[in-house]
Chain A
Amino acid sequence: MSKRVGRPAARRWRDFGLAVAMLAPSGVILGMFVIYPLVKAIFLGRQRCGVTSCRTTSWHQYVDAFRSNEFQDALIVTIKYALITVPIGLALGVGLAVLADKYIKGVGIFRTIFSSTVATSVAVASVMWFFLLNPNVGVIADWLGGTAKTPGFLQDPGTALWAVSASSIWANLGFTFIVVTAGLQSVPKDLYESAYVDGANGFTRFTNVTLPMISPVLLFVTVVLTARAFEGFGEIDLLTEGGPKAKTTTLTYLAYGRGLPTSGDDGLRATVTVLLFFVLLVLALIQFRGLEKRVHYGN
C-alpha cells in the first residue's frame, strides 16, 4: 500500500472512514432487507397474526408447524419435485451440451435453440405450459389423451406434479445447457487427446475425462436447480395453485399461496419460511459435504 509513514495503529485505521462510506450502501440494504427480516421472522414465527395485530404464542409453534400434516405433505411434495426436476434437468442439460459440443455442421443453431429457454421467465414459461397442458385448449393434452381429457394433466392428482415438473425442466434447460457448455469449453483438449491415445472410447472419455473435469460446474448446477425447486412459487401459482388435493403445494407455496392456513397470517407465514430456511441450510450442508469431496477443482 502507500509508503506514507505512521504509527501502526494509525495506519490500520487510515482507510476506515472511506471503507465505511463504501460499504454503507450495501450494508444498509443487506442489513435492512436480508439480515433484519431473517432475525425478525424468527421471532415473528412464534406469533399468530390477524390483519392488524399479532399475539405471541410460543416457540412451540415451530414444532407444531413442522409436525403438521400440511407442512409434512408440502415437504414431501417439495422433495419429490426436486427429485424429478434436478436429475432429469441435469441429465438433459449435460447430455445435450456434450452432444452439441463436437464440431458438426449447424451446431450453432442447436446451441441457440437449447439456450433459448433461458429467456423465458417463470411466468412466461408457466402460462405457456398452462395452455399446452390445458384439457380444453391444450395441444399436448389433445394428443396424449384424446380430445378434452378430463381431468387434464394439471388437474389429475396423479400427474399434476409431473406436469409442473415438465414446465420447470423445460424452463431451466437453457440455464443448465449454457453453464455446462461453458464448463465443457474449459476442459483442456489435450486430456481428450491422451485419453484417445490410451485407447479410451467415447463413453470412457465422457466418464473419465469430461465428468471429473466439469464436476464443479455440475455441483453448481445441482445446487441452483435444487434451490429453484425448493423456492419454486410462480410455476405452482400459475399452473395449479397448489392443487389438486395439495399435490403440488410445495413449501414456498404453502407459505405464500392462496386459501391456505398461512394466508393473511404473517406469523404462520414466518414460521413456515423460517423452517424452509433451515431445511435449505441443512440441504446446502449435505450437498457441499457430500459432493465437495468428489469435485475436482484442478489446481
Chain B
Amino acid sequence: MATSSSGLPAIDQIRGGRKFGRYVFLTVTAAIVLFPIYVMIVGALKPGSKVLDQPLLPNHLTFGTLSDAWHDGKLGRALVNSAIVSIIVTLAQLITSVLAAYAFVFLRFPGRTIVFALFLATLLVPLEATLTVNRRTMQSFGWINSYQGLAVPFLATAFGIFMIRQVFLTIPKEMREAASMDGLGHIGFLREVAVPLSRPTIGALALFAFLTSWNQYLWPVLITTDEDYNTVQTGLKALKSAGIGQPNLVIAGTVIVALPIFVMLISFQRQLVRGLTAGAVKG
C-alpha cells in the first residue's frame, strides 16, 4: 500500500505520548497478524524430525521439507491445474463481461432493462444453491475430473458485467456519436475507444477473477475425484488428510501454495484495491 501523505499536519501529526501508544498498538497487532505466517515459514524450513523442537526458532534450516512436500503433495501438478483453470476463467470473464457491458450501455434494443435486471439478479443467488445441480449437469456432460468441469460455470459473472458497465457508463455518449459519424462501427468503437479507456477497471476485474477462481474450494471438491485434477486448494486438502502424522510436510505445502499469490498481490496492489472496492461504490 502506498503511503498517503495528507496535508494536515495540525491534526495528522500527533504528539509524543499518543504517538508512542499508537506505535506500540500497531506493532503488537502487526506481530499477532504475522505470527501464523511466521510459524508456517519456520516450520516449512525445518526437517520433519525437528518441527516440534522449539517451533518458534529457525534452527536446523533446510529446504528438504519444501521439496518433499512438493513431490508428495504433487503440488507442481496442482499449481499447473490451478493456473490453467484460473487463466481460462479470467480471460473468458474479461471477454464475456466486456461484450455484455457494451451491449447494455451502447446498444438500444427492446427488453434491455429486463435482461439487465435478470443478469443482475443472478448476484443474489449464492453459489452453494447452484452447485448440486451443476454437478449433475457436469456429470451428464462427462465433465467430472476435467478442466471444462472446473472452469465452465465461471466463464461469466454478473459482477464482472456490472463492474465493466459502471466504467462504460462514464464514457461520454458524444464520443460514440462522433465515432459513429466518422464511420466507426460498434466493434471498432469497442476495440479502439471503450476498452482502452477502461483499462484500469479491466485490469482490476482480471485480478479479482483470477484470485476468486484460484481460491475456489467447494466446487473443486465436488467436481473432482481424481488427484490429477487437484487444484492447489484441493491438493492442500489431500496433503492434510494424507500427512496428518507429518505436520511439517503439510506446513511446507501451505507455504508453497500461498507463495505465488503473495507475490502476485504484492505486484498488483492497485488493481487489487480497485477490484475489492468495486462493490462499495454506489451503482
Stretch at the interface among B59-67, B154-162, B195-203: B154-162
Task: Say how far B15's CB is from chain A's closest CB, in angstroms.
Answer: 12
Stretch at the interface among A37-45, A62-70, A149-157: A37-45
* Pair B133/A36 contact, Cβ less than 8 Å: yes
* Pair B130/A34 contact, Cβ less than 8 Å: yes
* Pair A35/B108 contact, Cβ less than 8 Å: no
A34 to B119, CA, bound (A): 10
Which A residues from 4 to 25 make CB contacts under 8 A with B? Answer: 11-16, 18-19, 22-23, 25
Closest 8 CB pairs of A and B: A37-B133, A111-B1, A29-B156, A234-B217, A37-B130, A33-B153, A220-B280, A121-B215
List 19 contacting pairs A-B, 8 Å CB cutoff, sorted by A: A1-B177, A23-B103, A23-B115, A30-B156, A30-B158, A37-B130, A96-B26, A103-B13, A123-B233, A123-B236, A127-B236, A139-B55, A182-B273, A185-B4, A193-B8, A216-B281, A220-B280, A231-B127, A252-B218
**How many residues in A have their beta carbons less than 8 Å from beta carbons of B?**
104
Does A245 sit at the interface, judged by CB under 8 A? no
* Residue picked from B13, B33, B119, most chain A C-beta under 10 Å: B33
* Pair A123/B130 contact, Cβ less than 8 Å: no
Does A144 sit at the interface, judged by CB under 8 A? no
New A-B contacts (7) at CB < 8 Å, excluding given A102-B13, A132-B36, A234-B218: A23-B99, A41-B130, A102-B22, A121-B215, A123-B234, A231-B126, A252-B218
User: B interface vs A, CB < 8 Å?
Assistant: 1-8, 10-14, 19, 22-23, 25-26, 29-30, 33-34, 36-37, 39-40, 43, 51-52, 55-56, 95-97, 99-100, 102-103, 107-110, 112, 115, 118-119, 122, 124-137, 152-158, 161, 176-177, 180-181, 186, 214-215, 217-218, 221-222, 232-234, 236-237, 240, 247, 250-251, 253-254, 257-258, 261-262, 264-266, 269, 272-273, 276-277, 279-282
* Pair A116/B99 contact, Cβ less than 8 Å: no
**Chain A residues, CB < 8 A from B273:** 178, 181-182
A35 to B118, CA, bound (A): 9
* Pair A114/B33 contact, Cβ less than 8 Å: yes
Contact status of A115 and B132, CB under 8 A, knowing A26-B97, A137-B51, A139-B39: no
A5 to B129, CA, bound (A): 48
**Chain A residues, CB < 8 A from B153:** 29, 32-33
Task: Say how far A226's CB is from chain B's closest CB, in angstroms.
Answer: 12
The one of B2, B109, B161 in contact with A16, judged by C-beta atoms closer than 8 angstroms, is B109
**Chain B residues, CB < 8 A from A115:** 1, 269
Does A213 sit at the interface, judged by CB under 8 A? no
Q: Taking CB as reference atom, which chain A residue is nearest B29?
A: A96
Task: Say how far A229's CB is from chain B's closest CB, in angstroms.
Answer: 12
* Pair A116/B33 contact, Cβ less than 8 Å: yes
Summarize A's interface: helix, strand, loop or mixed: helix
The one of B108, B254, B276 in contact with A127, judged by C-beta atoms closer than 8 angstroms, is B254
Contact status of A238 and B221, CB under 8 A, knowing A112-B1, A182-B277, A189-B6: no
**Chain A residues, CB < 8 A from B176:** 1
Q: Taking CB as reference atom, which chain A residue is nearest B32?
A: A170
User: A interface vs B, CB < 8 Å?
Assistant: 1-3, 11-16, 18-19, 22-23, 25-30, 32-38, 40-41, 44, 96, 99-104, 107-124, 127-132, 134, 137, 139, 142, 170, 173, 175, 178-179, 181-183, 185, 189, 192-193, 196, 205, 216-217, 220-221, 224, 227, 230-231, 233-234, 237-238, 252, 255-256, 266, 269-270, 273-274, 276-277, 280-281, 284, 297
A137 to B246, CA, bound (A): 10
Contact status of A281 and B156, CB under 8 A, knowing A32-B137, A121-B233: no
* Pair A13/B22 contact, Cβ less than 8 Å: no
**Chain A residues, CB < 8 A from B152:** 29, 33
Q: Taking CB as reference atom, which chain B residue is nearest A4?
A: B180
Q: Taking CB as reference atom, which chain B residue is nearest A101?
A: B4
**Chain B residues, CB < 8 A from A110:** 26, 30
* Pair A183/B280 contact, Cβ less than 8 Å: yes
**Chain B residues, CB < 8 A from A120:** 258, 261
**Chain B residues, CB < 8 A from A119:** 258, 261-262, 264-265
* Pair B109/A12 contact, Cβ less than 8 Å: yes
**Chain A residues, CB < 8 A from B240:** 127, 130, 238
**Chain B residues, CB < 8 A from A227:** 126
Task: Say how far B210's CB is from chain A's closest CB, in angstroms.
Answer: 12
